[in-house]
Structure 1
Amino acid sequence: MLIYIFYFFIAIVVVQLFYYLGVFGKFAFAKPQHVTPKNLPVSVIVCAKNEEENVKKYIPLLAQQDYNDFEIVLIDDASSDETLEVFEEFEKEFPNIRLVKVENNEAFWGNKKYALTLGIKAAKKEYLLFTDADCFPSSKDWITSMTSQFTMNKTIVLGYGGYEKVERSFLNKIIRFETVLTAIQYFSWAKLGSPYMGVGRNLAYKKEEFFNVNGFIDHIQIRSGDDDLFINQAANKTNTTISYTTESFTYSKPKKTYKEWFTQKRRHISTAEHYKFFDKMQLGLFFLSQLFFFLLVIVLLAFQFQWIAVLAILATRYTVVWTVIGCSAGKLKENDLKFWFPVVEIALILTQINIFITNIFSKPVYWK
């Protein structure tokens, strides 16, 4: 039996090396990007529900972008706090801000996609750039950097939405590592011509792409997925590219407790169930390869079966993975995660197992 486990272990490592070298290496070892300003007409779209404090801090940062032709479309999704009042003050202060007020709709109550649809229809510019109400751009050249990747054919741009660093917080390292790993995956598959998701914290596309797939209509009843389900449907190898210059990043404040983050990740993972078959398959295979890798290592070393060979394979796997994660983290300005990688990887896998089990027995909570 142990010999078959050993062979299975080798097969799992081969799968892991395929992912890290054959897929993720496309991003990890990619050349630096260059920004050539194009001054395209851009509507920056922000949807907010009960985000009074965040929009006070972050909307002025959007308004200060160093870009000539842009407007900001602020969508108040029937907030019960002072978000709408704050938006109305910004509308008076900044001439390029457009306000969309969303009333509760019985058919689409609490559905962010409904609110976003109204905002997209109200947008006057040809190119749409999305971020969340609790996000802020890394520089005044965020719009310039993201739109520089548009071409005649590339009408969807996937960006990086990171989280702020919190010193001496292990949870923060797990959150940021998971974000980096997710970005490595969707950037790499996009470079391979199989884009499958993006993040609403930093995403851009030409307005025609929204109407080409009838907006969110095919998944309007799924409460989440205004970003990843839309990209899963609309993106392809011809129309999609990525942006990973430092100036193109956005950042959010991370969750402060494990419970809050756990709830957030439950929503994200439940949405992935609606991806195309190939995308679900490749994501599932990657997760299973990670899980079985650690389980099989424990079994083989516990019985000291071919332990020298197992340790050699283990060292090879970690050398490759550490190199790919390190290069990718460097591109995304998350360098400190290189040193924590072995520990946070295990913590993340355990959390993912917990999420899958929890989602079987209860449904996650969505848009506020």
Structure 2
Amino acid sequence: MAAYMDVLNQITETPFYLLLGACGLLLVFQLYFLLFVYSRLAFYKKPPIKKNTKQLPLSVIICARNEEENLQQNLPKILNQNYHQFEVILVNDFSEDETKWLLKELCTKHSHLKVVEIAEHVRLKHGKKFAVTLGIKAAQYEHLVFTDADCVPQSDQWLQHMADAFDSGEEIILGYSPYTRKPGFLNALIRFETFHTAMSYLSYALKGNAYMGVGRNLGYTKSLFFRGKGFAAHMHILSGDDDLFVNQNATPHNTAICIEPEAQVWSEPKTTFAAYIQQKTRHAGASKAYRPSHRRMLATQLVSAFLFYVLAIVSLVLYPWYWPVIVGMYVLRFVVQLFIYIPTMKKLQVKGLIWRLPFLDIFYYGYICINGFFALYKKDVRWK
């Protein structure tokens, strides 16, 4: 009878050991990303400037469609940057509001503002990449800085910091653009997702494996754009003028980051779940064109975290008497997260989210994985 019970216990406990082994393996993956990737940003310090970048002229490129209100509020803060030589190229992409007249008024006050007008063609539809390309062609300087009409620099030193980042021949500068804080869960989720995305792409850039950038705060050289044939490789994808360009052209030696608080560019977040889902679906659609190694890398990080939560919950439901083992794994991961996330959140100006980390983390991975799956079967949408 005792032998029979031993065999029965082994049979019933075997699935638990399999679940435990799977959770342990997923935990190892998660600890790797935290300790050997994200730690690079957590403990990053800006390197000393090697040359006089104050003499580097810059061209700021902004594409806008029906952005009169945002331009009226934000464009003056870009035009009044405390930098010795720069121009602002505003590409007015078939705006149907009063953008044209606002820009004419601003041009009379700011000689370094240049406007490129795009007229809609009945038989020719275009996305943002066409507008960006025209802006680049109109720029007179080699070093380009990009942002959006709904973005505003935190200080008048934004361009100086971006110029400093073009220090030792770098051709791509990855900046950071947080979203403003507002009440509600959606805002917290958007800011956490933006933080997590930035932590990932900035850390990998520091690791010599840059895979994306964000067009709200991005810089690269004009010669790199034309040498890489612009957006030709992914012109058929309506989105991705920022992340796909970086994915295609970044190397271990031509990319730097710029994350000083004075160099961060703030944006207004979406206010409805529908608008947010549409935005993330568009971004997920562009990621299908990433290099295969980058897709595998990102999928491993996201799916391992998602499955860790799923298997941990399943284990607790099916084998509640083993809860100390599962909870111990979770606590280990959480403590390491705090060790990495706290200094990183301070750098990226979202330290208030640390108190919501347990709930936001599990919701984030669930949402991103599920949305990314369905995005594989959706077509791209227009940028405006």
Query: Which category of TM-score, normalised to the shorter sequence, fits these structures?
Result: over 0.9
User: What amino acid is aligned across from residue 60 of structure 2 in structure 1?
Assistant: V
What 5-or-longer segments of structure 2 have no aligned partner? 1-14
2:178 is equivalent to residue 175 of structure 1: no
Q: TM-score, normalised by structure 1?
A: 0.96
- 1:351 Cα deviation after fit: 2.2
- 1:347 Cα deviation after fit: 2.0
2:310 is equivalent to residue 295 of structure 1: yes
Match of 1:4 among 4, 18, 30: 18
* Cross-structure match for 1:262: 277
SS at match of 1:184: helix
Match of 2:239 among 206, 218, 224: 224
* Cross-structure match for 1:77: 93
2:32 is equivalent to residue 18 of structure 1: yes
1:226-279, CA deviations, whole angstroms, 9 ceiling, x for partnerless residues? Answer: 000000011111100101111110001111111111111110111101000011
Q: Is the 8 A contact 1:162 1:179 kept in 2?
A: yes
Q: Return 8-17 or 358-367, whichever deviates more.
A: 358-367
Q: Is the 8 A contact 1:162 1:176 kept in 2?
A: yes
Count of residues paired in the alignment: 367
Residues 34 and 55 of structure 1: CA distance in aligned 2, closer, same or farther (over 3 Å): farther
* Cross-structure match for 1:47: 63
2:76 is equivalent to residue 30 of structure 1: no
User: What amino acid is aligned across from residue 308 of structure 1 in structure 2?
Assistant: P
Q: Is the 8 A contact 1:33 1:245 kept in 2?
A: no
The Cα RMSD (Å) is 1.6
The CA distance in 1 between the partners of 2:172 and 2:244, in whole Å, is 14
2:287 is equivalent to residue 272 of structure 1: yes
The CA distance in 2 between the partners of 1:174 and 1:94, in whole Å, is 38
* Cross-structure match for 1:282: 297
* Cross-structure match for 1:316: 332
Map 1:68-147 to 2 at 5 A. Answer: 68-105=84-121, 109-147=125-163
The CA distance in 1 between the partners of 2:25 and 2:366, in whole Å, is 22
SS at match of 2:213: coil
Q: Is the 8 A contact 2:285 2:378 kept in 1?
A: no
* Cross-structure match for 1:327: 343
The CA distance in 1 between the partners of 2:174 and 2:251, in whole Å, is 12
Q: Which protein shows a greater Rg? A: 2
SS at match of 2:271: coil
The CA distance in 2 between the partners of 1:185 and 1:365, in whole Å, is 25
SS at match of 1:163: coil
2:308 is equivalent to residue 306 of structure 1: no
The CA distance in 2 between the partners of 1:108 and 1:225, in whole Å, is 20
* Cross-structure match for 2:4: none
Q: Which has the higher helix share?
A: 2
User: What amino acid is aligned across from residue 199 of structure 2 in structure 1?
Assistant: I
User: Quick one: percent identity of the two aligned structures?
Assistant: 36
SS at match of 1:306: helix
* Cross-structure match for 2:363: 347
- 1:353 Cα deviation after fit: 3.8
- 1:349 Cα deviation after fit: 2.3
The CA distance in 2 between the partners of 1:158 and 1:359, in whole Å, is 25
What 5-or-longer segments of structure 1 have no aligned partner? none
Residues 88 and 182 of structure 1: CA distance in aligned 2, closer, same or farther (over 3 Å): same
SS at match of 1:101: strand
The CA distance in 2 between the partners of 1:153 and 1:32, in whole Å, is 16
Residues 53 and 230 of structure 1: CA distance in aligned 2, closer, same or farther (over 3 Å): same
The CA distance in 2 between the partners of 1:305 and 1:26, in whole Å, is 38
Match of 1:253 among 262, 265, 268: 268
Q: TM-score, normalised by structure 2?
A: 0.92
The CA distance in 1 between the partners of 2:380 and 2:225, in whole Å, is 27
2:217 is equivalent to residue 202 of structure 1: yes
The CA distance in 2 between the partners of 1:32 and 1:335, in whole Å, is 20
1:63-89, CA deviations, whole angstroms, 9 ceiling, x for partnerless residues? Answer: 110001100000001112122222222
User: What amino acid is aligned across from residue 230 of structure 2 in structure 1?
Assistant: G
The CA distance in 2 between the partners of 1:360 and 1:221, in whole Å, is 16
1:181-208, CA deviations, whole angstroms, 9 ceiling, x for partnerless residues? Answer: 0000000100110000000000011111
The CA distance in 1 between the partners of 2:233 and 2:21, in whole Å, is 44
SS at match of 2:165: coil
User: What amino acid is aligned across from residue 262 of structure 1 in structure 2?
Assistant: I
The CA distance in 2 between the partners of 1:256 and 1:69, in whole Å, is 37
Give structure 1 regions of 4+ aligned residues with deviation exceeding 6 angstroms.
Answer: none
